[in-house]
Amino acid sequence: MTSRSLPVASGVRSGGHGPAAQRRRRALVAYVFALPFLVSFAVFMVYPLLSSLAMSFTDFRSTDIPNPFAVGFVGFEQYVALFQNPQFVRSLLNTFYFVGVGIPLTMAVALALALALNNGITRFRAAFRVGFYAPVVTSIVAVAVVWRFILQPDGLLNVVLGAFGITGPDWLNDPNWSMPAMIMLAVWRNMGTLMIIFLAGLQGIPGDVLEAASVDGAGAWNRFLRITLPMLRPTLLLGAVLLSVGFLQFFEEPFVMTKGGPLDSTLSISYFVFNQFGFGNYGVASAASYVLFVAIALLSIVQFRAFRTKD
Amino acid sequence: MTLPSTLPAAVAAATPARPTRRRRRREPLTRALVYVVLIISLVVTLVPFVWMFLGSVKTEQELLRRPPTWWPETFTWDNFAAWFGRLDIGTFFFNSVVVAVFTVLGTLLFCSMVGYALAKLEFPGKRVLFTLVLVTLMIPGVVTFIPLFVVVSKLGLVSTYPALILPFLAGPLGVFLMRQFIREIPDSLIEAARIDGASEARIFLGVVMPLCKPALATLSILTFLGSWNNFLWPLVVAQTEDMYTLPVALSLYSVGQNATNYGVLLAGSVLVITPVLLLFLALQRYFVQGIAVTGIK
């Protein structure tokens, strides 16, 4: 599988066999280059993808692994059952809650940071950028150890809130506050990525346009509203869609912080799938994962639109 | 025409440029306010890290005290000693490094090869393949999770290195990145090498790869990071203690029957986070490029 052993030199050496033969040889060379990827892509991506689609129409359970062809075909039964399963519906609603609140919040924070770094200051820009980006590179498991402590009833956050006279809730054990806690963690972990994307976008806005507006007497707020924001639209849209693909798969935060609780208040679609996998209900899990896939696919259509308007 | 050295246009364009509006005068008061707000935000962002580092050298009694103390009253290395004593950190660290290094090497090789084919060679099915790669960028991990586990267990790979490495070699993100980057290389360079009689393997290794260094650097970092921090898949397929990676060990010692005390967990977090934090500080330019180019962490 090393590239050194590629028998690809023949394509050029014997050029005298007409264009068709040469094209064939070129194609062969290309396939040799693509082969290592194609094999692993087929085994670890395409096959699992198709097999989970197939599984979603069967009552496949973990006990069927030794004999996969003995399972019963149940058609769309599991999909129908899913939407009648209150726990799955709850996980759908939770995921939408997380996406609906988390994305605008992350974007607002990231945009504010990007604007401040780009226009507001002249020094220590790189240091700030590194600091705000640091949460992105860290392991969620390690981060969870710290955040579980910060979010305890008498933890760091509530101590700080207490200094302002606010009695903080028991974040991780109160069904009303567990999701806001997850969102807080997600904003912290994801704002750095978006900040970098927005910074790149801001630097694409020509300075003289803003200068001209400034000369014409437009205030900072007006310049932001009428120039920066419209010119940043493709970048904002890109950021929003990228974030949606990630946020819809929301799983790690509750997995390490709340185990989906309390009372399923942080159970996401991905988490529901993972639990069904744990119970051995592979068919149900596959069906649920395809519901999630459809949701993301709908959003990815938006993404391709976003890319197109950018060109 | 673009010179080879200015080649990576996409990356160059995304490199944080000097701000263009530096000359514009601002009221000093406004700017001071921006600094204050930024510094407060930075402190809030970094508090969890600071707390983790300080907590890892506190005693367990001090960690359990309420309200929490800030600066350690009694300094102790016991929490780290636990990892180097009874918790076999050497093995976990070694596993994490082996998995990350081989995942990076494999990804670089596979993705640059197919990226070259997609960018510069003609073959039937090329468009279909590229579209397929783009589509899989959107596929949630849980969709392939179960069949992947079935495949791995049927191959008898549970609790082996291949199970931890192989599924991550064909990342669509890497293919996309390499393909986009190699496309920017002028065809004339490749044609010239071909006319000089260079074999395709030579062209790939001698012409294309050296020009791809920035993209390879970005891809290495993103892949290393993903592998180092990955924990759900390792948690499921690394079922014996000698195969645990660092995050798996940390998560298993956080809860359940193996639960260890809080100071030890904080020390473990420090041990997991510090290598990537250092890597990030050293190579942050490439991180920033990678994100700006691909839009994905």
How many helices (DSSP H) and strands (DSSP E) are in chain B? 16, 0
Residue B172 has pLDDT above 50, yes or no: yes
pLDDT value of residue A107: 92
- C-alpha A20/C-alpha A272 separation (Å) is 54
Does residue A286 come out as left (phi exceeding 0), alpha (psi in the -120 to 50 range) or beta? alpha
Residues of chain A in contact with residue B169, where contact means CB-CB under 8 angstroms, are 36, 40, 44
Pair B58, B76: CB distance under 8 Å = yes
* pLDDT at B9 > cutoff 50: no
Closest by Cβ to B68, choosing from A138, A159, A300: A159
Across the range A198-214, mean pLDDT stands at 81
Residue whose C-alpha is closest to residue A208's, from A199, A216, A197 = A216
Q: Which of B43, B221, B297 to mutate to test the interface with A (most CBs of A within 10 A)?
A: B297
Angle in degrees, CA B291, B161, B235, rounded to 5 = 70
Q: Is the pLDDT of residue B11 over 50?
A: no
Domain boundaries, chain B: 4-14+89-294
CB A273 within 8 A of CB B236: no
The alpha-carbon radius of gyration of chain A (Å, integer) is 26
Interface contact A255, partner B, CB < 8 A: yes
A51 Cβ neighbours under 8 A, 6+ residues apart: B147, B150
pLDDT bucket at A309, cuts 50 / 70 / 90:
low
What is residue B257's predicted lDDT score, i.e. its pLDDT?
57
Across the interface, do A138 and B126 touch by the CB < 8 Å criterion?
Answer: no
Q: Report CB contact under 8 Å: B143, A121.
A: no
> What pLDDT does residue B99 have?
93
Which pLDDT belongs to residue B294?
57
| Burial per residue of B2-34, b for 16 or more beta-carbon CB atoms within 10 angstroms, e otherwise | eeeeebbebbeebbbeebbbeeeeeeeeebeeb
For A263-297, the pLDDT digits (tens) are: 888 888 888 988 888 888 888 888 888 899 888 88
Mean pLDDT of chain A: 81
Q: What is the pLDDT of residues A233-262, one digit of tens each?
A: 878 877 887 788 888 888 888 888 888 778
Is residue B238 scored above 60 in pLDDT? yes
| pLDDT of the residue at B280 | 84
Residues comprising chain A, all counted: 311
Asked if B110 lies within 8 A of A36 by C-beta distance, the reply is yes
Asked if A203 and B17 touch (Cβ cutoff 8 Å), the reply is: yes
Cα four-point dihedral sign B229, B231, B237, B242 = positive
What span, in angstroms and rounded, lies between the C-alpha atoms of B213 and A68? 46
Query: Mean of the pLDDT values across residues A147-158?
Result: 84
pLDDT tens track for B71-99: 877 788 877 877 777 777 888 889 999 99
Residues of A in contact with B50 (CB under 8 A): none
Bridge partners, A73 (sequence order) = A58
Provide, rounded to the nearest whole percent, the portion of chain A with pLDDT above 90.
Answer: 8
pLDDT average, residue stretch A134-146: 86
* Predicted local distance difference test score (pLDDT) of residue A188: 93
CA dihedral angle for residue A112, residue A114, residue A117, residue A119, rounded to 10 degrees: -80
Report which of A200, A228, A198 is spatially closest to residue A213, judged by C-alpha positions: A228
The two structure tokens encoding residue A78 = 């599991």
Average pLDDT, integer, range B259-267 = 79
Give the integer Cα–Cα distance in Å for B61 and B74.
10
Residue pair A213/A301 in contact by the 8 Å Cβ criterion: no
B246 contact residues in A (CB cutoff 8 A): 139
The token pair that represents B151 in the structure block:
């495949």
pLDDT on residue A84 = 85
The structure tokens listed for A57 are 């129409």
pLDDT value at residue B293? 60
Return the pLDDT at A105. Answer: 94
Q: Which of A296, A295, A286, A292 is nearest to A269 (CA)?
A: A292
Q: Is B159 left (phi over 0), alpha (psi -120 to 50) or beta?
A: left
Residue A259 CB-density burial (10 A; 0-12 exposed, 13-18 middle, 19+ buried):
middle
Closest CA relative to residue A243, chosen from A310, A200, A187:
A187
* pLDDT confidence band for B289 (50 / 70 / 90): low
Look at residue A101 in the predicted model and tell me its pLDDT.
Answer: 92
**pLDDT for the residue A108:** 92
Residue A71 pLDDT > 90: no
Fold of A77-310: MetI-like fold (1.10.3720)
User: In the prediction, which pLDDT does B59 show?
Assistant: 79
Reported as a single tens digit per residue, the pLDDT across A1-50 is: 344 444 444 444 444 567 788 888 888 888 888 888 989 888 888 888 88
Angle at A293 between CA A292 and CA A294, to 5 degrees: 90
CA atoms within 13 A on the CB side of A229: 10
A212 lies within 8 A of chain B by CB: no
A159 interfacial to chain B (CB closer than 8 Å): yes
For chain A, the first-to-last Cα distance in angstroms comes to 38
- The whole-number pLDDT of residue A277 equals 84
A192 close to A134: Cβ distance less than 8 angstroms? yes
DSSP SS3 for B154: helix
Rounded Cα distance, B93 and A229, in Å: 46
CA distance B64 to B71: 14
Nearest in space to A82 (alpha carbons), one of A53, A46, A56, A102: A56
Show me where the domains of chain A are located: 3-47, 77-310
- CA B67 to the chain's CA centroid: 36
Question: What is the ipTM for the molecules in this complex?
Answer: 0.77
Contact A171, A178 (CB under 8 A): yes
Cβ contacts (< 8 Å) between B280 and chain A: which residues? 130, 133-134, 137
* Cβ atoms within 10 Å of A273's Cβ, excluding its own: 31
Helix (H, G, I), strand (E, B) or coil at B172: helix
Q: Return the CATH fold of B4-14+89-294.
A: MetI-like fold (1.10.3720)
Mean pLDDT of chain B: 80
* Rounded Cα distance, A132 and A145, in Å: 20
CA B265 vs. chain centroid, Å, equals: 23
| Contact call for B297 and A118, based on CB within 8 A | no
The reported pLDDT for the residue numbered A311 is 43
CA A18/CA B1 separation, integer angstroms:
32
Within 8 A of A82 by CB-CB distance, chain B residues are none
The pLDDT of residue B259: 62
d(CA B111, CA B105): 10
Buried b / exposed e across A14-34, counting CB within 10 Å, b at 16+? eeeeeeeeeeebbbebbebbb
**A262: cis peptide before it, omega within 30°?**
yes
- B contacts of A41 (beta carbons < 8 Å): 133, 170
Tell me the per-residue pLDDT of B115-156, one tens digit each, with 9 for 90 and over. 999 988 888 888 998 988 888 877 888 888 888 888 888 888
Of B16, B167, B251, the CB nearest to A256: B251
Closest alpha carbon to A39 in B181, B158, B113, B178: B113
